[in-house]
Amino acid sequence: MKAVLVAAVGVWPPLGPDATAAPAAPPAELLPSRLRRGTSMLTRLFAEGVAQVAAQSGADLASVATVYGSANGEIETAIAQLQMMHGDGVLSPARFKSSVHNTASGLVSIAAGNRAFSTALAAGERTAAMCLLEAIVLIDRGATDVIVALADEPLPAPLPGAPRYAPLGVAFHLRAETPPNGRALAALRGLRVDATAPAATLAEPLGNNPVAAALPLVDAIRQGRRGTVVLERGGAGTSRWCIEVVDP
């Protein structure tokens, strides 16, 4: 497969000096108020990531293909549904329709009037790598561009022993050719499993978030670094997915 171009990168909450100034939930203004009302943190993270990369690169949100990735999905909404079942047994239809893994895919597609390809994936610690693989294959098979949006919200308290972490969303706009704004940040190629690759080590409070596996790639692209980037955190086994960041 040939290299794909990175047209834009988005992150929420903002990284760097302003990280602590970020509000508790992203604005997610891509979603009209009637769709945004009652949405989960996860859906807002997805919508914010898509909006950020589209604003940077000039992506056509009415036609771009989208790949959504989350290790745990709409876990907060799902747990709330289970608690309702355990209580009076009366479930909320509104909550149920927002508890599926492709909730954000549906809402963002409706908001943008997009009928193009869209999918939602979950692959545990390898969710970031598998979503990039999906996007790269789509482009290799003829797609012009793909937005990859990754997000995971904090795990609910009822899950005993679960790791605690802050919410995090990351998005990439990948293209087969030069983006509408005339410039690419980097190119990606050589997505592979490498038995010698070290695990990515990430600081708290984001480090335990499954999406944090994509932060080294974000950093390499933004800093203009080239070379191999590991797409998995520690504890995922001896062989880890990696990708090459090269000049566009």
Q: Which CATH architecture has domain 4-187?
A: 3-Layer(aba) Sandwich (3.40)
Give the position of tokens 């098979």: 141
> What residue spans define the domains of the chain?
4-187
DSSP category for residue 233: B
| Dist. CA 43–CA 47, nearest whole Å | 6
Between the CA of residue 57 and those of 13, 184, 190, what are the distances in Å?
Answer: 19, 9, 24
Reply yes or no: is the peptide bond before residue 205 cis, omega within 30 of 0: yes
What pTM, to 2 d.p., does this model score? 0.90
Digit-by-digit pLDDT tens for the chain (248 residues) are 789 999 999 999 987 654 544 556 899 999 998 888 878 899 999 999 999 999 999 999 999 999 999 999 887 776 666 666 666 766 666 665 666 778 899 999 999 999 999 999 999 989 999 999 999 999 999 999 999 999 999 888 777 777 888 899 999 999 999 887 788 999 999 999 987 777 666 666 777 899 999 999 999 999 999 999 999 876 555 688 999 999 99
Instruction: Work out the number of other CB atoms within 10 angstroms of the CB of residue 172.
Output: 28
| Dist. CA 236–CA 199, nearest whole Å | 8
- What b/e readout covers 43-63, taking b as 16+ CB neighbours within 10 angstroms? bbbbbbbbbbbbebbebebee
Phi, psi of 242, rounded to the nearest 5 degrees: -135, 165
Q: Is 239 left (phi over 0), alpha (psi -120 to 50) or beta?
A: beta
